Amino acid sequence: MKRTIPTIGITGTSCRGKHKLMMAAVASRYVEAVRRAGALPLVIPPDTPKEHIPALANYIDGLVLSGGGDIAPSWYGGEDSPTVHDVNNQRDTLEIALTQAAIEQGVPFLGICRGLQVVNVALGGDLYADIETQTSVTEKHNRDSTNERTLPAHKVEILPSSRLAQILGGTEFEVNSLHHQSIRKLADRLKVVARSPEGIVEGVEVIGHPFGIAVQWHPEWMEQDHPAMQALFRALVEAAKRKAER
């Protein structure tokens, strides 16, 4: 039966709920943003077996790689740092394999914050484990995650010829910033389409993919008040609709 609404998978994380029960969960802002854009959000548990990933990538019409804890440095041959936190090996395994499947199968996807880093690692790139201690950048990218999620932290400059600029309707925006890691070596299949004033990679696109975009900021925390950020989710959903109709 043909779907009347596209499905967007959102990668989740593990947490403890009431009575200390382990749960698979995703922040409601991702769910709300996808729903408002016109799609059905589906939470993908972080312990999804690897053998289920081809079927999962075939089932969903689009994908959001959500933000969260750090990727283990062992995935990209990086040096460990005492600043690395909230590592979830099951989630790393799932998201790296799911990203590779989404690229291979042409599934439209949007990577957000950690999601941008996952895309780069999945395609063979690596990361700065900590911007503050491993670079000379003075911009503060790791803002207060409790009180500053909706507040602009710095500008991003977007490549005029990019799909990202076309979707957002401009080449310079103020964005929030809730990360302490960033791309170091760019994967071969990626193109940098946005940077911070000091050069931190803030946006990438997958070369030759129908819709493979990732940003370092958190548009789900800005989309209610900023039409450009709403447009990013709508563009993902429109791409998902096209996949569903194929």
> Which residues does 175 contact at the CB level (< 8 Å), separation at least 6?
152, 153, 154, 155, 156, 202, 215, 217, 219, 222
Q: What is the 3-state secondary structure (H, E, C) of 179-225?
A: CCCEECCCCCCEEEEEECCCCCEEEEEECCCCCEEEECCCHHHCCCC
Q: Is residue 25 exposed (0-12), middle (13-18) or buried (19+ Cβ within 10 Å)? A: middle
Of the candidates 154, 179, 218, 226, the residue annotated as catalytic is 218
Is 220 one of the catalytic residues? yes
**Side chain identity at 60, as an amino acid letter?**
I
Of the candidates 205, 220, 223, 226, the residue annotated as catalytic is 220
Phi/psi of residue 210, nearest 5 degrees: -60, -35
Answer for the pair 118, 64: CB distance below 8 angstroms, yes or no. Answer: no
- CA dist 9 → 27, 29, 58, 83 (Å): 13, 14, 11, 30
Of the candidates 95, 113, 223, 226, the residue annotated as catalytic is 113
Is 15 one of the catalytic residues? no
Is 172 one of the catalytic residues? no
Q: Which residues are catalytic?
A: 113, 218, 220
